[in-house]
Amino acid sequence: MADPGLMRAGAAMLTRDLRLVWRRRGDASQPMLFAVLVVSLFPLALGNQPELLARMAPGVLWVALLLASLLTLDRLYRGDAEDGSLEQMLLTPVPLSWLIAVRVLVHWLTTALPLVAITPLLAELIHLPGDLLGLLMLTLLLGTPLLSLIGAVVAALTVGMRSSGMLLGLLALPLYVPILVFGAGIVMAAEQGLPWQGAMLLLAAALALSLVLAPLAAATAIRIAMT
């Protein structure tokens, strides 16, 4: 049975973070606009070539969502570090890893989930075959939480730095590449009639492992950075 204290703290953290996101909803919409712009540039650059666009569509959509997710990593802990909330989180009797897990959930709900929701529109723009859309959505639902979890660890490593935007990208991109390869590769394999179930299971296993380890690693990194 879940600890009532943990649930109350998690609900309070969730409510607070969602309210902050709503107050800054202009900033929260930037990743979505960025992804739309990136995807819309490919038809303009390649011209009216639906077959070529259809072959590239899984990779293009995954790259657009991956790059869009990088835009918000610096804001994961930056506001809390500046106003002293992060020190208060360290002093609470609730495990810091639990609060970070809630923060990652908010990040995914407000950043990645809207991107996944507009993916059918982006897929239509870039001529993704309709029979691959469901599989693409499944890879995104498994892969985007993994991006948020890994991003939370990377952001925690740089929380003590004044300006870490470029460094965040350099640290996160090598860790994001395997997710990109698996996510886009699953859809491309299905398009070519190749087996893809094993890669999907590996992606799911990586997500399950990260759900346990990433909040713990991020909490350890924040404690080190704040001491």
pTM for the full model? 0.88
- Among 14, 207, 226, 37, residue whose Cα is nearest residue 110: 14
User: How many whole angstroms separate alpha carbon 150 and alpha carbon 162?
Assistant: 21
DSSP string for 11-60: HHHHHHHHHHHHHTHHHHTHHHHHHHHHHHHHHHHH-S-HHHHHHHHHHH
Tokens of 4: 């009532």
pLDDT at 3 over 70: no
What is the average pLDDT across 182-196?
90
Q: What is the 3-state secondary structure (H, E, C) of 99-119?
A: HHHHHHHHHHHHHHHHHHHCH
Instruction: Give the residue numbers spanning the domain of 24.
Output: 4-226
- Among 151, 156, 160, 167, residue whose Cα is nearest residue 226: 160
- Among 36, 12, 15, 208, residue whose Cα is nearest residue 120: 36
Instruction: Tell me the per-residue pLDDT of 10-64, one tens digit each, with 9 for 90 and over.
Output: 788 788 888 887 777 766 778 888 888 988 888 888 877 888 888 888 999 999 9
Instruction: Tell me the per-residue pLDDT of 82-140, one tens digit each, with 9 for 90 and over.
Output: 777 777 888 888 888 898 999 899 889 888 898 899 999 988 888 888 888 999 999 99
- Quick one: DSSP state of residue 83? H
User: How many whole angstroms separate alpha carbon 88 and alpha carbon 166?
Assistant: 28
User: How many whole angstroms separate alpha carbon 144 and alpha carbon 126?
Assistant: 20
Confidence at residue 1, expressed as pLDDT on a 0 to 100 scale: 45
Count of structural domains, the chain: 1
What is the average pLDDT across 202-211?
94
User: How many whole angstroms separate alpha carbon 115 and alpha carbon 103?
Assistant: 18
Length of the chain: 227
